[in-house]
Structure formats: structure tokens, C-alpha cells
Amino acid sequence: MTRLLHLDASARPGHHGVIAHGSHSRALSHRFVTRWRAARPDDPVRYRDLGATPPQPVDHDWIRAEFTPRDRRDAQMVARLAESNALVDELIDSDLLVIGAPLYNFGMPVPLKAWIDGIVRIGRTVLFDPSRGDDPYVPLLTDKPRRVVVLSSRGGHGMDEGGPLAHMNHLEPHLRTALGFIGIDDIHAVAVEHQEFGGERLAASVAAANAGVDALVDTLLAETPAPVPAAA
């Protein structure tokens, strides 16, 4: 059984092609999960709409609670970290993380950054060990293989790795850095481009991204062990 954690971070509700001004990244992530479940209907999916219900951003109360030893946290501190702990628990429980996120002003949407801030946690997803000298950080999410699929949308074009404007794309690199820091480095990406151009260029990019999602589902399914039949 593969446990999916599906996150959407777009500010746009709905899916492109279904409602006016619907989200391209939501459409891609929905396509991925739908195709996956068609092949493996018993795989559980946990869904968080970060765009509609953003995690609370890090503030002074969060920092004070996080850096107070666990056995000395009062009830208010425990409550302030409850959402972050739930986000961490969901990630730890997952095998496949599907992230739908547009590129906003060269980086990730604010709700996705709040999610990242909530799951990169000393003692929970990464260990800080000063005895290791210049490399004191030890990722803790190496207990099992976890894969990540980033499904994005961009107004411009040429922002894939190796593209002429790749240096302006800080979404996928940021996710690779943050998730790799805690032990998840098997990351795949597909994106729609040309949103600001529209017309045939956008339509061609949407078609290519849909085909890319379908191919990625097939590839990852082929690499995934078949589910074990339930005992009679």
C-alpha cells in the first residue's frame, strides 16, 4: 500500500478547463492522483488544500514553543505547535507526496512556505548534532523511501532545469533543498508554462504537461511494489 499526501497551494479555486480562471497546478495534481487511484484504488489519499486553508505562519509564539524543551512546554505552547505536529505526522506517514503549486514571483506561494516552515523541525524531521562539526544536521526522514511529485504552473517559459530562465525559478529548487534537508530527495516535476501568453502556446504546454503527468504516473507505478492481497 502506498500512502499519498496531496497538497494544493494555488490561490485559485477549481481546475483549469473546468471553471473560468481555474488553477493549472490543481488540475495537474488532480490528474495525477486520479490516475494513480484508478490503478491502485486501495491506496489511501490524505488531502490538504493549503491555498484555501493556509497553515498559520511561524511567529514569536511558535518559536518560543518550538525552542522550549518538550517537558517544559505549557498548554499554550503545546496548542501552538499542534498544527505543525499534525503536518509532520502526515508527512511521516506518507510514501508519495503530491504537491500542486504555481510559481509566484519566482518562488512558492505563501501557504506552501508556511507548510515547509511547519515540517522542517529540529528533533522531528532533522537532528541537530553539534558534535558533528561543520555538518551538524542529520535528516530523520530516511526511515523509508519517500517520493515527491511537484506539479506547477508558470506565467513565463524556459524555467525548467537547464532552461534559459531556470535561474528565475526558485520553487522546485527550494523544495528540493528543504525536503532533501530532512531526508527526501526523490523528487519529480512537471509544469505548465506560457500562462501569460495564452493561446496556442499555452494550450500546447497544457497538453505536454498532461502527457508528462500520465507518463510520470506510469513510471512511478512501475517502480512501486504491487499491493499485497488481503488475507482470506
Is the Cβ–Cβ distance between 182 and 126 less than 8 Å? yes
Query: Which pLDDT value is given to residue 216?
Result: 98
Amino acid at the residue 158: G
To the question of whether residue 154 is assigned a binding role by annotation, the answer is yes
Instruction: Give Cα 69 distance to the centre of its chain.
Output: 29
Query: Which pLDDT value is given to residue 229?
Result: 65
Query: Which pLDDT value is given to residue 228?
Result: 67
Helix, coil or strand: residue 232: coil
Is the Cβ–Cβ distance between 4 and 134 less than 8 Å? no
Helix, coil or strand: residue 97: strand
To the question of whether residue 205 is assigned a binding role by annotation, the answer is no
How far is CA 67 from each of CA 99, 130, 218, rounded to the nearest angstrom? 29, 16, 43
Query: Which pLDDT value is given to residue 15?
Result: 83
Which residues of the chain form beta strands (DSSP E)? Answer: 4-8, 45-49, 96-102, 126-128, 137-139, 147-153, 186-192
CA angle 211, 48, 17 (to 5 degrees): 40
Query: What's the alpha-carbon Rg for the chain, to the nearest Å?
Result: 19
Closest by Cα among 188, 185, 99 to 142: 185
CATH of 4-222, one of 3.50.50.60, 2.160.10.10, 3.40.50.360, 3.40.50.2030: 3.40.50.360
To the question of whether residue 29 is assigned a binding role by annotation, the answer is no
Cell of 47: 488531502
How far is CA 220 from each of CA 48, 71, 147, 148, rounded to the nearest angstrom? 22, 42, 9, 10
pTM reported for the whole predicted model = 0.93
The model's pLDDT over 111-127, given as tens digits with 9 standing for 90+, comes to: 999 999 999 999 999 99
Helix, coil or strand: residue 1: coil
Query: Which pLDDT value is given to residue 191?
Result: 97
The model's pLDDT over 64-108, given as tens digits with 9 standing for 90+, comes to: 999 999 999 999 999 999 999 999 999 999 999 999 999 999 999
To the question of whether residue 23 is assigned a binding role by annotation, the answer is yes
Closest by Cα among 227, 153, 216, 155 to 187: 216
What is the rounded distance in angstroms from the CA atom of residue 146 to the CA atom of residue 215? 19
To the question of whether residue 153 is assigned a binding role by annotation, the answer is yes
Residues in the chain with pLDDT values less than 50:
none
Query: Which pLDDT value is given to residue 231?
Result: 57
Domain ranges for the chain, please list them: 4-222
